[in-house]
Structure formats: C-alpha cells, structure tokens
Chains A and B, each alone.
Chain A
Amino acid sequence: MVEPSTASQNQSLTSSPTPEQLSDIKAQLDLVLMALEALVGVGSEAILNTAKRLQLDGLMGDRVSLWRLRQSSPLRKGQGRKKLDVDEARALVMVACDLAQQHQTAIRDAVAKLEEVTAADQPPHRAAILGDYLDRFSNTYQERMEAGETVSTDQLSQLALRLLIDLLLYGAAGGSRRLWVALMDRSRPAS
C-alpha cells in the first residue's frame, strides 16, 4: 500500500471551515479518536508520539494541550476551552488518520469479523473483538460525553460500528483527505 506523503496530506487540507462548522468538526474528531482508543487502545501517549512524528507537536505537545483540544467537543462533559482553530483541526485529522493507518490490520480484522457475523445474521458482540470494542466505546462515551447516559446502547453500538468502518477508510490511502472532506460535508447546513 502506498503511503500518502505528509505534503500531499497537507495539500488536501486546504479548505477552511467556518466557526459554526468547527463545532461539529470538533465533535467528529473526538469521536474518531475515541473509536481508535476503544478498538486498539490508542491513548494520549500514542497520539502525542504520532503528532511529534508528523511535526505537529507544536499544536499538541503535551497531554494538557491534547486534552484541551479534545475537550473542545461540544458533546464533552464539563467546561473549559471549547475552541478549536483550523490548524488544530487539521492536526487532529492527520494524527487520527495516521493512527488508523498504523493499526490498519486490527481495523481490518474487526471489520472482517463484523462482515462475517452480519452475514451470519448474528449480533456483533458475539465476536470477541467486536464485543470488546463495543463495550469500551460505550463506556468511554458515557463517561466523557454530556448526554452519554441518555444515549441507548443500541445507538452507541450503531455509532461505534459506523466509526469502525470509517476507520477502515481513514487508514487507507488518501484517508486524511477523505476525513477532512467528510467533516466539511457533515457540518454543512442542510439545504
């Protein structure tokens, strides 16, 4: 698989979102990182190391800054800095996609298992890898999100599985471009 260069990734992230769009983008980015965290155990250390490798440590050089960036999601509990500028959003996109690429094997295994159980008409949590993923995601979401406890398990499972499949595309060639465009399209006001 050909790895897209950092330069090409940077080039694709040229459209700047409006402040309104950024609120949804912050939430989306936080959820993508949450899915990675629930599936492969990506923690703050891995995120910071990736940011450093991508020369983005100026924007997220330590746990505090990283926490601040992720806390900007409007879905998150608690108060604090709720702002995310364009450069920070771009950095989160690049880091998330790079992490997805690093763990592409695990992601593919999970998706393959999901396809298998779905074809067999079985519930996803029957597969160990999926069961663990869904549990960790639900727990993390309910723990961190403002309305986490009001969201049903099925809704969370559905969200988690969608994010799992999205990770498959984010970790592929051109993933950062896809994620950025998807973030822009999702946050576009409905016409």
Chain B
Amino acid sequence: MTERASQQQRYSAPTCTLEITGQSSAISQWAGQLVLKGVRFRLWIHPVGEGSAAEHEVLRGDRRQLETLTETVQTYVQRQLVASGSGAVEQTTATNAGDQSFSLRPEGLTRHRLVMASQPGAASHTGTARHSDEASGGVVLSSLQLADLATVIDQFETSAITLPPLETVQQRRRRWWTGRNSIGSAAAVLIMTVGVATVVPRVLRDGPVSETLEQATPEAVGEGDAALPADRAEEAAPEIDETETKTDGPTADQLPEPAAVEPDTSTATPKREAETDTADSRPQSAPPSQAASPTPRSPADRASSPPAARVESPGTAASRSAQSADLPDSGPESASESGPESASAPQAPPQDAAPDNSAASGLATFEGSADSRDRDIEPAAEAVPALGAAAEVSPAAVISAVEQWFSDRWQAQPDLDTSLAYELEIDGNGVLTRITPISSAALLENAPIDLPQVGTAIAPATGRDRATRLRLELRPDGQVIVSGG
C-alpha cells in the first residue's frame, strides 16, 4: 500500500479553529473515513465577536496531546452537563497522558480555565489567548469558546481516525528473530543444539574413546553406534535434554551466535588433538592458521561491523574452545544416534581438518550470500553441513589468508579520512573473481593501494563450487579487516 500525501483538515466554529495535519493512510478506504497518521494539531481560540481576524493560537502538539486534550474537554463538558442537573459543579477535569496533562475547571458560570502541564518536548502553549491569565497559567475559556472547542473536537472525531505509530512488518520480524526471549532466539538455540549433537560426536570420536570407530566404514560405524552400550545410548537422551536446557537459557544477545557452537566444537579439536595426538596430520595440509582459528560466523556477526568478525588468533581460538568445552561434553552421547554423520569422522584424518571443516563448510556456504534471508536461515543450514564429509578449507582460513594478503600491502594513510571498503568474490580455487568498491572513498580512482587484479590467487583453495564473498575494509590507520558476507 502506498501512503498518500500529507493532509490538512480544519474544523471551525465561531470562536475556535482546530487544524489537523497528518498523512492520509491507505487504510482509509477500508475504514470508510479518513485515517490519519503522524497527526499534529494546532488550536486557535477567537475572542467572541471579533472573528478569525483576532484568533490566537493557544495550543499545538502531536497525536497524543490531541487525544489528551480531546478526552479532557469531552469529559469536562459531560461532567458540566451532569452537574447542571444536580446543581453541583465539577471542579477539575484532568487527564494525564505521558508527558502532557490537561485540566479544565470552572471559574463561575461562564468561565473555564484550561491548564496545560507541559514537559519539555510536549505540546506547547503558543501565543496568548485573549482571556489567558499568565499568572495563573493556562487559558480561560468562555462558555461559548468551550462549547466551540467541544464542537470542533467532535467534528474531528466523527470525520477522521488517528492512527498511533504502527510497527512495520520488518520491524516486527526483526524483533521476532532478535529480541530477547523471541521465537527466533529459541529457534536458533534449537538449531545450535542439533548442530552440536551432530558435530561433536564426530569430533570426539577422533579421541581415544572413538579410536575403534575411526577405521570403520560408514555403515560399520553406524552399526558401531548401534552397538554402543545401552547405558551410553540411554545417557544420550538426558544429555541432549541437558544441552537443550543449557542452551534455552541464553538469549540471542548472549549466545555466541549459533554458528559459534559448531566451530567451537571444532576449535575443541585442537585441544583434543593435543590430548590424543591422533590428529596431528589433520591440520597439516591446511593453511597454518586454519586449525587454530576456525572463527565462527553467525548471522549476527555477518550483519555486524567488520571488527566483530575478525579472524581470531590461535590463542583466542584455544580459549574459546576451552570456554565451550561444556557444550561438546554432551556431544558424544547425543551423537550416538547420529549414525551416518559419524561416518564422516573416520574419513576426516586424511582430509584437511575434517570436523571443523565440515562444520565450517556450512559457514562458507552462506558466506557466499549477503542476503538477509540467508542469514536468517543460516543456523539451520550450518547444522546440515555437519553431516557432510567434505574436507575443505574453512572460511576462517580464507579470511585469514585474504587479510594477510592485504596486510602485506596496505599501509597507514594519514591523508585518508575514511576507510576503503570493497566486496571481494573468491572462487573455490582461491582466485579473486571480482572486486567491487562499496565505499565512497573506494570509488576514487586514486585509492592509495594496488588492488589485486581479477584472477589473482589471494586465498587457499576451498574446493567448493560456490564463490566466497568477503568484505574488505582498509582503514586509514593501516588496519585490514576482512569479514564474511
């Protein structure tokens, strides 16, 4: 639906004019009357007998103040009518709404004082009505002016509907996915749990416990899983529950991003490798930084600023793996049911950093897409690649390599006011296939850097069919930031 232009409505009575300004909403056609949004109002009071030439603007404000004023006036008028029958006179009518309150009180039979209690930013009392009493505050209205004020308010209420600010669908969806205790958070947690349950067992089997499974065929592994002691299988259920329980708690903000879990389990690999000395050969064929820094990528990370997605140092990765040690602990039991998933484990050693690669491959798959929808479904997809068997260079390794490539060539630029940002597309062979400037400074032809030509190998081969898209930021202080997607 397209919104219409701003509209101005004027409601006039002999001693009062109410001007309403707002945007006509497209739903007016369904409401059968004018529906306005973003309403603002102005109120003029004319001295009796002098006409509009002597009008004084006494009030202006937004929708909320208008509603407060309307309620105050209508209620006061009605109470005056009720009091007329009983002889008792209503002293004060006040309505508070947010930072603006109005009150009306009678002063004799034919005078009524309208007082506005304003807070900064609220409706403003403008101008000086003829009967205004600056010392007491507010505006004194005659019975005619009060009646006319009630009349114009009534005219407005019967002719138009004011809409409060409405949340857009996009805002609601965003809140639905990213808000605390949101369904999106719960979904992310669940998907993470599934990822942990499938990835961790494979990782752990690389250790002494799973040594006997490494040499088995996939089918045999499956059978081996089935042959696991019943007590271990039984433990799987409560362990899974515990895992889910653990992961239900954190909110989206606290979670180390859904993708963080899987790579964390892979980061646990180096630790376990150190313990078991069984995977020494695994990382050797991979880029040096890959085994130690399989940096997790999450939808939040990709959406965030580049610094949040910096490649971790080996030490950082190790500490993260230590922090996430609790999560993988539940993995083996829960993975006892993974069946075919574990088949990939025995094949991992001869490949490049198998477990984390398997997990990371899912990340790399989605690094190729900058679409927000893809980011939304990434957690689920990341769990799927854990079932895969491809031994591929992790996205973190690619990022690290690209970052290193540019770091070797980028120097601090004191004359540069802003960062240079580019979007890089790298194919499965690590060759740059496209470089696109995405910042205004980068669009300058005389950007102070020799950018790599298309066709230059700047990253390790990933072996994937889909290209990897990265965001490159060259900062004036010499920093190089590379982030996925």
Contacts and interface: CB of A to CB of B under 8 A. Distances in A.
Nearest to A185: B82
Interface in A156-191: 158, 161-163, 165-166, 168-169, 172-174, 178-179, 181-182, 185-186
A115 B151 contact: no
Contacts of A165: 80, 84, 109-110, 143, 147
B420 to A, nearest CB: 62
Contact of B158 (A4, A28, A112): A4
Contact of B144 (A115, A119, A185): A115
A119 B109 CA distance: 10
A1 B144 contact: no
Contacts of A158: 87
Interface of A: 1-2, 4, 8, 24, 28, 108, 111-112, 114-115, 118-119, 158, 161-163, 165-166, 168-169, 172-174, 178-179, 181-182, 185-186
Nearest to A114: B110
A115 B143 contact: yes
B158 A174 contact: yes
A179 B82 CA distance: 9
Given A1-B13, A172-B151, A174-B158, A112 B81 contact: no
B155 interface: yes
A165 B11 CA distance: 22
B154 A172 contact: yes
17 contacts: A1-B13, A2-B155, A111-B110, A112-B48, A115-B142, A119-B110, A165-B109, A165-B143, A169-B147, A169-B150, A172-B13, A172-B148, A172-B154, A174-B154, A179-B81, A182-B82, A182-B84
Contacts of B86: 186
Q: Which A-B residue pairs are the 8 nearest by beta carbons? A: A182-B81, A186-B85, A174-B154, A172-B151, A173-B154, A185-B82, A162-B84, A115-B110
A111 B158 contact: no
Given A28-B85, A111-B144, A168-B144, 16 more contacts: A1-B151, A1-B155, A2-B11, A108-B14, A114-B109, A114-B110, A114-B143, A115-B144, A162-B84, A165-B143, A168-B147, A172-B147, A172-B148, A173-B151, A174-B154, A178-B81
Nearest to A108: B144
A112 B143 CA distance: 8
Most B CB atoms within 10 A — which of A4, A163, A174, A186? A174
Contact of A185 (B78, B143, B150): B78
Nearest to A174: B154
B19 to A, nearest CB: 15
Most B CB atoms within 10 A — which of A108, A112, A119, A169? A169
Contacts of B110: 111, 114-115, 118-119, 165
Nearest to B84: A162
A8 B80 CA distance: 23
A172 B158 CA distance: 13
Contact of A2 (B14, B81, B158): B158
A178 B155 contact: no
Interface in B109-139: 109-111
Nearest to A28: B85
A158 B89 CA distance: 12
A111 B112 CA distance: 14
